[in-house]
Amino acid sequence: MRKLIFFLLVSWISIVHGFTQRTDAASGQLDSYPAPTPLANFKWKIYNPLSESSRYAIITHFISNNYSVVVPQKIQNIKVTKIDRNAFFRCGEMSQIVFPETLNDIGSSAFNRCYQLRRIVIPNGVSIIRESTFFKCSNLKEVILPDTINTIKEYAFSECKNLTHIIIPKEVREIESYAFSKCENLKTVKFLGDAPINVPNVFKGSQPILYRAKDSTGWEKLWSGRSVLVKSEKIKN
């Protein structure tokens, strides 16, 4: 009888443990990276395949139209470090995407016209948001940029009409003209660092309030034609 009770107890614990793991996976709350979208949905290339120290994989094209995408960390045990230009162009049904921490480069127009995309978390290691990367992502509401970003190129977030707030990381030194143009609902832009190079028309067709950290330097009264307010306390991410 005791053996039977012990067997049933162990079985019940195993079932609960397995259910918990599946529940965590479904919610995305994992200690490890979530299961990637099958490779059959991607086109990709391996560069420097014979060099163990410098070889890397690039996602060149997404050939499906899933609403949820998890970019693989590795292909053939080689780290994925780049998403090529236009790789996800016009993936009209995709509403969410997860990037691996191995990623350090996203090509221009990579997510151009991904109309249903709602949230983006760029991983540490990416330093540039290139031209038109998220152009006309009209449902994009939240963008989280890492501390490694230093440049935001022209039209990067142009016509992201549902974007309401964005925080510009401390190391950003260049934001090109029209980067946030026609973002009709953009309400606040918070700069964590010193003033980037002052260029015109960054916010053309947008009306955000600009804030800077109290201890930041290099700011003029106007930045890209808009007044800059001083945040009286330290701006938090």
**Mean pLDDT value of segment 5-30:** 36
With beta carbons less than 8 A apart as the criterion, state whether 175 and 152 touch.
Answer: yes
Most confident of 4-8, 17-21, 24-28, 217-221: 217-221
Residue 65, domain member (yes or no): yes
Split at pLDDT 50, 70, 90, the class of 19 is: very low
Could you list the residue range(s) of the whole structural domain that residue 141 is in?
35-231
Residue 57, domain member (yes or no): yes
Beta strands at 119-121 and 105-106: parallel, antiparallel or unpaired? unpaired
Residue 29, domain member (yes or no): no
CATH code of 180's domain = 3.80.10.10
Displacement of CA 87 from its chain's centroid (Å): 15
Residue 237, domain member (yes or no): no
Question: Two tokens at 46?
Answer: 């391996």
Residue 21, domain member (yes or no): no
| Count of structural domains, the chain | 1
Between CA 24 and CA 33, with CA 29 as vertex, the angle to 5 degrees is 100
List pLDDT tens digits, range 28-63: 333 488 999 999 999 999 999 888 889 999 999 999
Residue 22, domain member (yes or no): no
Q: Tell whether the model's pLDDT for residue 155 goes beyond 50.
A: yes
**Mean pLDDT value of segment 62-79:** 95
pLDDT, residue 198, reads 97
